[in-house]
Amino acid sequence: MSMEMNNNEMDIFEIISHSGNARGLAFEALSAAEEFNFKKAEELIKQCEEEMITAHKTQTKLIQAELNGAASEKTLLMIHAQDHLMTAMSEQKLIEHMIRIVKKLAPKNEK
């Protein structure tokens, strides 16, 4: 068994990496909002979105390759990457909603 990674494995790790980055940035944004630092929260959400876009583009590339006939082995690693991406996407949307709620509840001088 070779220790070298194939292209699919590199793509899979890219999905995991960027999804994890996005998730971390989303939680940092929520922490900033908790401190009523909405400018920082907005910047972090933008960075989160950029990471999410990169992860999603890689996922789309893999899906398109499979639809075009490229064989794709279904591995535990691939499932893990999909789980990372789906969880990060869900948490991002929930955190964005939570930030909007915190903003509404912030003292008037903090908005």
The C-alpha atoms of residue 73 and residue 12 are separated, in whole angstroms, by 12
Residue 26 Cα distances to 11, 66, 92, 100, 107, angstroms = 22, 31, 6, 13, 23
Catalytic machinery residues: 80
The verdict on whether residue 11 carries a ligand-binding annotation is: no
Longest dimension (CA), the chain: 62
The C-alpha atoms of residue 20 and residue 14 are separated, in whole angstroms, by 10
Binding-site residues for Mg(2+) sit at: 83
Binding-site residues sit at: 83
